[in-house]
Amino acid sequence: MPWIHLDDIAGLYIKAIDDASWSGTYNGTAPEPVTQREFSKEFSEKPTAASPDPTEAPARERGDVAHQSRHRLASRRPAGNHHSHVIHDSAWLLTTDFRCYRESRSNDNTWRFVLIVVTGATGALNGATVDHLLDRVPVEEVAVAVRDVNKARRFADRRVEVRYGDYADAASLPTAFHGADQVLLVSSNDPGADAVALHRTAIDAAVTAGVGRILYTSHQGAAPRSPFRPAVVHAATEQLLAESGVAWTSLRNGFYAHSLAWLAGPWRETDVITVPADGPVSWTARDDAAEAAAIILATHGGYDGPVTLTADAAPTFADLARIASDLIGRSIGLAVVDPDRWVADQIADGQPEPIARFALGMYQAAEQGFFAGTDPLLRDLLGREPQSAREVLAHRPAAR
């Protein structure tokens, strides 16, 4: 962006008011546009020890940091015959974009972008991530980019900046990601979409916007040869992130524990958990994953590459049957049935075949060990025990 000093913009306004010969459109821009990364780097190299809190620092002092960055006003009269005064300020450092800056949390007297843009905030995971983030950073440092701004009213009510952004609408993303140091990309939840293409669009836009770090909601067991379809999408997306040239963090969340309400079937009524394959799964509470994401975002770059966020244990369905028996006070059995029979039974029960086959891939990935690992990182980040599958089974009634 062609950053401009606030004094220069003020001077432009005064000139426009005073000089009756001015007519038409004038651009208030610096002569040389710079990327946000270049600007942030130069900005951060300027010592600011005299002004530890930018909200208290005199405007001129703050503005001078940018002023020293060689970017001065260049007013140009565009071609054409205009009859009204229109002034376009391409970059107001201390007004519209001041929200992007804060003193570094590392107390190293550097300045930098700190705006965190969260996509998918109208969804359960990233909505909760924003809630947890607002417990940790000032509201001015958070913006949400959503497909339907009306669904994000609860954030607007809390003074969070709400932006429109849809991966399927590439033109929306430059504005959605503007000024961000970190962008948290939700993984697409649309089973009919080309999710990798959508993620590529979002990653490209974040790179072009000059963000400092891209974070992505991935899944434990992301692998190109997993029978669980989303795992293949996550692996391909992580590859795109690795090739993006921008710092990235992939949040490999454990399987959502509340999914047991349908993946373990109606065991409370039938006294049996019926599955087409058995294997260990690190069932993880979605809200724990959301809180961990917020903690990671608030570190501003503390975690690189894939990080695995799981509960402490990875019980098999046989283990879950024992836990369920203990919880309910009567014996709950486990039946591992032929996969084709299981799919047929699901369809007979009213489940669409694509959904039944999608779920089958999950059980088969579990059987092959894709969800078997556990990692202490989630516990360390939360500073407490993550919720266990036992707690989730105890508190959630079985549902289809």
Ligand X SMILES: NC(=O)c1ccc[n+]([C@@H]2O[C@H](COP(=O)([O-])OP(=O)(O)OC[C@H]3O[C@@H](n4cnc5c(N)ncnc54)[C@H](OP(=O)(O)O)[C@@H]3O)[C@@H](O)[C@H]2O)c1
Map residue 216 onto helix, strand or coil.
Answer: strand
392 touches 258 (CB < 8 A): yes
Choose one: 54-62, 118-126, 133-141, 239-247; the region binding ligand X (CB under 6 A).
Answer: 118-126
Between 40 and 282, CB nearer to ligand X: 282
Choose one: 45-53, 180-188, 329-337, 366-374; the region binding ligand X (CB under 6 A).
Answer: 180-188
For residues 184 to 213, the per-residue mask of contacts with ligand X, x marking binding by CB under 6 A and - elsewhere, is: --xxxxx-------x---------------
Q: Establish if 219 lies at the interface with ligand X (CB under 6 A).
A: yes
Between 12 and 205, CB nearer to ligand X: 205
Between 111 and 255, CB nearer to ligand X: 255
Between 39 and 283, CB nearer to ligand X: 283
The CB-of-164 to ligand X minimum distance in angstroms stands at: 10
Q: Establish if 374 lies at the interface with ligand X (CB under 6 A).
A: no
Tell me how many degrees the CA angle 128-306-129 measures, rounded to the nearest 5: 10
The DSSP letter of residue 150 is: G
Between 28 and 280, CB nearer to ligand X: 280
Residues counted in the chain: 400
CA distance 336 to 366: 13
| Binder among 65, 91, 93, 125 for ligand X (CB under 6 A) | 125
Between 179 and 254, CB nearer to ligand X: 254
Q: Which residue has the tokens 């724990």?
A: 288
Between 59 and 193, CB nearer to ligand X: 193
For residues 220 to 259, the per-residue mask of contacts with ligand X, x marking binding by CB under 6 A and - elsewhere, is: ---------------------------------x-xx--x
Closest chain position to ligand X (CB): 123
**Which residue(s) pair with 111 in the sheet?**
103
The CB-of-231 to ligand X minimum distance in angstroms stands at: 10
Q: Is the dihedral of CA 345, 350, 352, 355 positive or negative?
A: negative
User: Hey, what amino acid is at 265?
Assistant: G
Q: Establish if 155 lies at the interface with ligand X (CB under 6 A).
A: no
For residues 159 to 178, the per-residue mask of contacts with ligand X, x marking binding by CB under 6 A and - elsewhere, is: -------xxx----------
Q: Is the dihedral of CA 60, 66, 69, 74 positive or negative?
A: negative
The CB-of-366 to ligand X minimum distance in angstroms stands at: 12
Q: Which helix (H) or strand (E) holds 144?
A: strand 142-146
Distance set, CA 26 to CA 15, 23, 34, 168 (Å): 11, 9, 20, 34
User: Hey, what amino acid is at 139?
Assistant: V
Choose one: 22-30, 58-66, 143-151, 369-377; the region binding ligand X (CB under 6 A).
Answer: 143-151
89 touches 9 (CB < 8 A): yes
The DSSP letter of residue 223 is: -
Between 90 and 259, CB nearer to ligand X: 259
The CB-of-274 to ligand X minimum distance in angstroms stands at: 20
Tell me the helices (H) and strands (E) count for the chain, helix number first. 16, 14
Between 298 and 359, CB nearer to ligand X: 359
CA distance 379 to 292: 9
Tell me how many degrees the CA angle 21-18-2 measures, rounded to the nearest 5: 85
Distance set, CA 229 to CA 286, 362, 363, 366, 373 (Å): 20, 8, 12, 13, 19
Note the residues at the interface with ligand X (CB under 6 A).
119-120, 122-126, 147-148, 151, 166-168, 186-190, 198, 217, 219, 253, 255-256, 259
